[in-house]
A and B are shown apart, each in its own frame.
Chain A
């Protein structure tokens, strides 16, 4: 009997211990207004020039670029207060005065020049995007000369890798880069947390928070649970499975994002999709409403490369594919396909069967497509790749359609997406799409500076891509931010590397 008692008591002690652990981490001893933020990704470091790590810096309000993008997708001044395009290869940026780095050093045009040059030296991707030949300081102005006319210069400089930092102070660049944003990094633990404190000398005024803890919670379920238990006050991205958990006491903000989920089609001879009729038929069989429902969270059914939020005349696009199985049948019949004894389409005795290469963790979207196509008469095999990197090495006989999830308007500019995915021979153009008209438009885009004209060119390219049924565009997921009702001014942005601002606060 005594032994039982002892056992029970020790069990109780253990439970009490565990419960105790849970409690004291929840309440921290931070003074003033403190916010806990749950992000879905950290990079390996916080060095702005390393891979895509700078995306975290703009997300947490630590780093700023010369210009930035508003939630309604317009360029707006940040560390430069104005700019002009002097001639096709010369740009003049007027640098904001009275800006200080987190270490107290004033941000002079010379410092900005050094920062941009440092980024170009360290990051090949960034250097390639800006095509800068030389930078000169002229009073409070920076004169940037490009090697060739570059219509995307301004947008490329808004990419977070170009956050302006003090390159004279690089000793802790991987964990505490010296930046200019409203929040100053005080500590960084890879894969765990970033601690930030308000930067008192911020040029835009006093930040709304005294301190911020940013946590790296990559698993969708864990991130949702962290918000549920109020371990964090705000999270970015919630999946549709967990969305219904946040009804009372939470705010869900959605905005049509600038990503597209698409199936990149194999346009080469190696695939039956070489025939435009087959691509078009598939595009007419897929139920886009179902696609949007599966991903949920207010995502929009697809039809064209650029989502409506990209402001590239989405509504005016002609011939957008709509779900219409009868029409798909008509298209395939015209192309010489007929249903065989198994109820599957066949041509010259060969059944129409396609392979969809997928790599994502969540395969439900593609399982649904497989069923829809099968019911319409096209057999589909799902081929699981180990990682998205494998897409580049698939080879044209390795797939007919391949999963792609792409930011179409990164840095608020259509050039990157079009040139990378649709230019003949481009790296991400794995399906071998090639149309001289599109190539010419992309080239024209790179030398056009007027924003309206750029939009017009992108619109024309988009119309050709839709007419050619270059790829199958499934849906546009929305960007989502969920927070407790105490959180104020953490707006959701179509580009998800913008989150915390100077005005973000907590009640």
Chain B
């Protein structure tokens, strides 16, 4: 595990931390309010006042992308956070409890995995109406099952390991075994999966906004910005290029970190 210092990983982590911090600080560094319109300044090109120009309502594109990043990243983290927590809890329970409970939970996991998640999400939003909360719920409904399956598999491998038997013999309670011994061993591979999924989640949220069922105007979110600018593909392409680039960089960054983590932790078992 410790052959060589994982420098790539460090570099990536620092870059990602900076990138995320950048968007979290949007309210402090954005020069303009992202929603304030000014028809007199509409569709301006790059200038010293408007670093990335202005959109069709004269809003500052740079400020909108900063705030949009806060929304996009926030929603993606929430989705992965909630579905990860639910998934790990259920998967852990299934892997560690009696075969009877395991059987039922596994069936539930398989059932949910059988659903096409995009279809479920779109149907859910169709019924409940588009909003940030509903986007998060609609994706969590199905996404947790992936983590549950992985967790269950990992826990089952660990629970039959010798050191668990020793721990049990020394009188450790179930909860202690789960918390002290199993969790630390199954967490690294889970973290890698979760980080790799962050990129997917950002694209999913953006694509929901792009087809009009995600974040609603005037809230800035990368996908929503793309949607409102699509008519300007030819006459003001910067309105599409910058949010597109932001999505691209973020996704690439998370995917690299996932890979680098995997190499560093050497969990290619």
Q: Do the beta carbons of B57 and A242 come within 8 Å of each other? A: no
Q: Do the beta carbons of B39 and A224 come within 8 Å of each other? A: no
Q: Do the beta carbons of B39 and A384 come within 8 Å of each other? A: no
- Among A28-36, A143-151, A366-374, the stretch that binds chain B is A366-374
Q: Do the beta carbons of A293 and B39 come within 8 Å of each other? A: yes
A242 to B218, CA, bound (A): 22
B216 within 8 A of A: yes
Q: Do the beta carbons of B235 and A371 come within 8 Å of each other? A: no
A287 within 8 A of B: yes
Residues of B within 8 A of A220 (CB): 231
Whether A239 touches B231, Cβ cut-off 8 Å, given contacts A364-B56, A367-B217, A368-B39, is yes
Residues of B within 8 A of A348 (CB): none
Q: Write the chain A residue with the least CB distance to B224.
A: A363
Whether A367 touches B216, Cβ cut-off 8 Å, given contacts A221-B233, A239-B231, A242-B234, is no
A290 to B217, CA, bound (A): 18
Residues of B within 8 A of A245 (CB): 234-235
The interface on chain B, measured as residues whose beta carbon lies within 8 A of the other chain's beta carbons, has a size of: 22
Shortest A387–chain B CB gap in Å is 11
Whether A241 touches B36, Cβ cut-off 8 Å, given contacts A364-B56, A367-B217, is no
Which residues 230-262 of B have a CB within 8 angstroms of A?
230-236
Shortest A250–chain B CB gap in Å is 14
Q: Write the chain A residue with the least CB distance to B35.
A: A371
A241 to B216, CA, bound (A): 21
A362 to B126, CA, bound (A): 19
Whether A384 touches B216, Cβ cut-off 8 Å, given contacts A224-B234, A241-B232, A364-B57, is yes
A70 within 8 A of B: no
Which of B36, B37, B57, B130 has the most C-beta atoms of chain A within 10 angstroms of its own C-beta? B37
Whether A290 touches B39, Cβ cut-off 8 Å, given contacts A361-B212, A363-B217, is yes
Q: Do the beta carbons of B235 and A294 come within 8 Å of each other? A: no
Whether A241 touches B235, Cβ cut-off 8 Å, given contacts A293-B42, A367-B217, is yes
Residues of B within 8 A of A287 (CB): 39
A386 within 8 A of B: yes
Shortest B212–chain A CB gap in Å is 7
Residues of A within 8 A of B232 (CB): 241
| Per-position binary interface string of chain A over residues 207-232, scored 1 when its CB falls under 8 Å from any chain B CB and 0 otherwise | 00000000000001100110000000
A504 to B1, CA, bound (A): 78
Which of B36, B216, B218, B230 has the most C-beta atoms of chain A within 10 angstroms of its own C-beta? B218
A287 to B212, CA, bound (A): 27
Q: Do the beta carbons of B37 and A241 come within 8 Å of each other? A: no
CB < 8 Å neighbour of A371 from B37, B129, B130, B230: B37
Whether A386 touches B126, Cβ cut-off 8 Å, given contacts A221-B230, A242-B235, A371-B35, is yes
A302 to B256, CA, bound (A): 54
Q: Do the beta carbons of A382 and B217 come within 8 Å of each other? A: yes
CB < 8 Å neighbour of B37 from A244, A361, A368: A368
Q: Do the beta carbons of A384 and B130 come within 8 Å of each other? A: yes
Residues of A within 8 A of B234 (CB): 221, 224-225, 241-242, 245
Whether A362 touches B231, Cβ cut-off 8 Å, given contacts A294-B39, A294-B57, A371-B36, is yes
Whether A368 touches B57, Cβ cut-off 8 Å, given contacts A294-B39, A363-B217, A382-B218, is yes
Which residues 25-76 of B have a CB within 8 angstroms of A?
35-37, 39, 42, 56-57
CB < 8 Å neighbour of A367 from B42, B57, B126: B57
B117 within 8 A of A: no
A105 to B236, CA, bound (A): 54
A497 to B57, CA, bound (A): 31
Shortest B121–chain A CB gap in Å is 15
A361 to B229, CA, bound (A): 11
Q: Do the beta carbons of B218 and A294 come within 8 Å of each other? A: no
Which 3 pairs from chain A and chain B are nearest by CB?
A241-B231, A290-B39, A367-B218
Q: What are 6 residue pairs bridging A and B, where the CB atoms are less than 8 Å apart in the complex? A: A221-B234, A225-B234, A371-B218, A372-B37, A384-B129, A384-B216
Binding site for B on A (CB under 8 A): 220-221, 224-225, 239, 241-242, 244-245, 287, 289-290, 293-294, 361-364, 366-368, 370-372, 382, 384, 386
